């Protein structure tokens, strides 16, 4: 029995989305093995930039290029750009696996190869949803997009666990595993996929591309650099380089908005934002991404730096355990993602999307009530509830956004939607890290000094422990490192009485000191998450009635009106 074309598209794009999203997080757990293999100490002086760009370089490049590749796909063909993304991603994965150098140079090479992966990932992310929207009729889009969104969220969680398993063997396997998948996916996509979507003949808007990409790149750079220490400050928000990058990013995006109203064939038709479903759906998606993007990092830190050491797990073993313990988030999404898409096909999207984001906010509020040494079953239940809310929001919201635009602009629309989600995740990471580190700046030093003194350490050693920068404490916890080994020289540790040396070397010691200051900070971050979810829910509800007809898109100044598929009732 020959498989229908729409199912071929669904399977291939699901593989592509899964592979690309796995690589967004696959280094999160395997960073200790990667830096060890490269012979780099990521907590050493001046090395924090390498750590951050290893984490965020892939997503930064993807975010910057999503709209550009979506628009290029509208002009030259979505299948063509999607196939190109598979090839580029596969080549980038192979280069990551064979990174030739070690030391700082090796880390820089790996970051560059990760960015090449991100370029291929942008082609895949920008076009997979558009291909599905082209291939599936309106009555089945919600379900197909639900499966696609499962691949995205599941990939993020699977990447955390898979990275830890493979890195335990050899860190290069984290990237090598994508090569055979990429080769098979590339060949299959080239053979089986063909253009059925409407294309829009137009010139490339070079000025729009440059201003948009430059503006986003400056913002991504500024947000990433803001997480690194500056002078005697724990973060870099006062760093002139950060301030200039953020100002330049905003200015270039303003210029982009002006340019797009004056060119004949804009990179992105701003008139799409006159469509109520498109505007409010994207705003809700951004707020949703802003609310959840940095939470995975916070949960990983909570588990690796506090809960697992308090329960006797050695620091070296915490990364993999933390990945496994966050899987209920994925399970909740896997169950409710396709269910939400199926229900939205039959009963409409607005109520499901709005209810889903509010359920996610409720889960964040429940997580705020947990003590540092929580019950793991309760933690897992709250994560599963959050995943369920995310599932009920994502597919219905995506279906309504993509169904609201003309067929020949789906590539740009999909790119814009994916860019909104990725930008929200990057900004969320910066916001949540800032909130937690700001809280630790007030509470961590006194807690460390009091705990070290109470344990019986001398005043100089207690002061040395208390001087640990909050950012270093966060990154050490996230990497599964024992911070004490970086704070007390081996000679000084060996000179201590054996019982005292054993006590402060025990994982319980530092985890117990970090617990309350960290949880105080993460509660503030979770409160911000709840507020964002509520605002996102209100925004989702404002998109209008399920029976409301979508207004026609008005062309930008000087542009040519295009004829899309007939306007149907918004679901």
Assess if residue 566 is contained within a domain: no
Are 198 and 224 contained in the same domain? no
Q: Tens of pLDDT along 222-242?
A: 887 887 777 777 778 888 999
Highest averaged pLDDT of the listed ranges 80-94, 138-152, 472-486: 80-94
Are 252 and 372 contained in the same domain? no
CATH of the domain at 285: 1.20.1250
* Tally of structural domains, the chain: 3
CATH of the domain at 28: 1.20.1250.20
Q: What pLDDT score does 199 carry? A: 62
Assess if residue 551 is contained within a domain: no
pLDDT class for 495, splitting at 50, 70, 90?
confident
Assess if residue 468 is contained within a domain: yes
Q: What pLDDT score does 198 carry? A: 64
Are 472 and 384 contained in the same domain? yes
Are 54 and 91 contained in the same domain? yes
Side-chain half-sphere of 403: how many Cα atoms within 13 Å? 27
pLDDT at 547 over 90: no
**Which sign, positive or negative, has the C-alpha torsion 376, 378, 380, 386?**
negative
Assess if residue 561 is contained within a domain: no
DSSP for 100-160 reads: ---HHHHHHHHHHHHHHHHHHHHHHHHHHHHHHHHHS-HHHHHHHHHHHHHHHHHHHHHHH
pLDDT at 306 over 90: no
Are 66 and 137 contained in the same domain? yes
Assess if residue 471 is contained within a domain: yes
Note down the domain range covering 225: 205-264
Assess if residue 567 is contained within a domain: no
pLDDT class for 202, splitting at 50, 70, 90?
low
Q: Tens of pLDDT along 238-293?
A: 889 999 999 999 999 899 888 888 887 777 778 888 888 888 888 998 898 888 87
Q: Say which DSSP state 553 is in.
A: P
Assess if residue 571 is contained within a domain: no
Are 38 and 152 contained in the same domain? yes
Are 164 and 216 contained in the same domain? no
Q: What pLDDT score does 559 carry? A: 37
Are 133 and 7 contained in the same domain? yes
121 burial class (0-12, 13-18, 19+ CB within 10 angstroms)? buried
Are 295 and 223 contained in the same domain? no
């Amino acid at each position: 029995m020959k498989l229908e074309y729409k199912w071929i598209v669904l399977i291939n794009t699901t593989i592509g989305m899964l592979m690309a999203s796995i690589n967004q997080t696959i280094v999160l757990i395997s960073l200790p093995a990667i830096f060890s293999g490269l012979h780099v100490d990521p907590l050493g002086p001046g090395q924090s930039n390498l750590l951050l760009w290893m984490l965020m370089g892939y997503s930064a490049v993807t975010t910057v290029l999503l709209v550009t590749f979506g628009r290029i796909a509208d002009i030259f063909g979505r299948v063509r750009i999607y196939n190109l993304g598979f090839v580029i991603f596969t080549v980038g994965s192979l280069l990551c696996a064979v990174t030739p150098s070690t030391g700082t140079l090796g880390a820089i090479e790996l970051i560059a190869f990760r960015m090449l992966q991100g370029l291929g990932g942008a082609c895949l992310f920008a076009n997979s949803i558009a291909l599905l929207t082209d291939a599936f009729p309106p009555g089945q889009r919600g379900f197909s997009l639900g499966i696609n969104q499962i691949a995205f969220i599941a990939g993020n969680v699977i990447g955390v666990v898979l990275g830890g398993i493979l890195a335990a063997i050899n860190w290069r396997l984290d990237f090598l595993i994508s090569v055979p998948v990429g080769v098979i996916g590339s060949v299959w996509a080239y053979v089986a996929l063909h253009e059925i979507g409407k294309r829009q003949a137009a010139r490339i808007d070079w000025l729009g591309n440059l201003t948009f990409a430059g503006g986003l790149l400056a913002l991504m750079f500024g947000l990433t650099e803001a997480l690194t220490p500056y002078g005697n400050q724990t973060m870099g928000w006062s760093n002139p380089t950060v301030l200039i990058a953020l100002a330049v990013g905003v200015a270039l995006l303003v210029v982009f908005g002006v340019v797009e109203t004056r060119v004949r064939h804009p990179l992105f038709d701003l008139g799409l934002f006159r469509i109520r479903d498109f505007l409010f759906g994207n705003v809700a998606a951004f707020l949703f991404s802003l609310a959840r993007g940095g939470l995975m990092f916070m949960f990983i830190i909570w588990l690796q730096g506090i809960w697992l050491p308090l329960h006797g797990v050695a620091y070296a073993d915490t990364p993999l355990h933390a990945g496994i313990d966050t899987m209920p988030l994925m399970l909740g999404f896997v169950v409710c993602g396709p269910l939400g898409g199926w229900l939205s096909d039959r009963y409409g999207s607005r109520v499901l999307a709005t209810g889903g984001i509010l359920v996610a906010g409720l889960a964040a509020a429940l997580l705020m009530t947990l003590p540092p040494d929580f019950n793991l079953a309760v933690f897992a239940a709250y994560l599963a509830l959050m995943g369920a809310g995310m599932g009920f929001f994502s597919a219905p919201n995506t279906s309504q956004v993509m169904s609201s635009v003309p067929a020949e602009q789906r590539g740009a629309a999909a790119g814009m939607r994916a860019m909104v989600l990725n930008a929200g995740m990057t900004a969320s990471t910066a916001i949540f890290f800032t909130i937690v580190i700001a809280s630790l700046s007030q509470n961590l030093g006194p807690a460390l000094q009091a705990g070290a003194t109470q344990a019986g350490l001398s005043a100089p050693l207690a002061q040395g422990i208390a001087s640990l920068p909050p950012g270093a404490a966060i990154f050490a916890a996230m990497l599964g490192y024992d911070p004490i080994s970086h704070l007390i020289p081996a000679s000084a540790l060996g000179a201590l009485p054996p019982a005292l040396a054993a006590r402060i070397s025990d994982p319980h010691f530092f985890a117990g000191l970090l617990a309350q200051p960290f949880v105080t900070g993460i509660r503030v971050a979770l409160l911000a998450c709840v507020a964002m979810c509520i605002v996102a829910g209100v925004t989702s509800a404002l998109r209008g009635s399920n029976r409301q007809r979508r207004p026609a898109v008005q062309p930008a100044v000087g542009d040519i009106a295009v004829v899309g598929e007939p306007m149907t009732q918004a679901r």
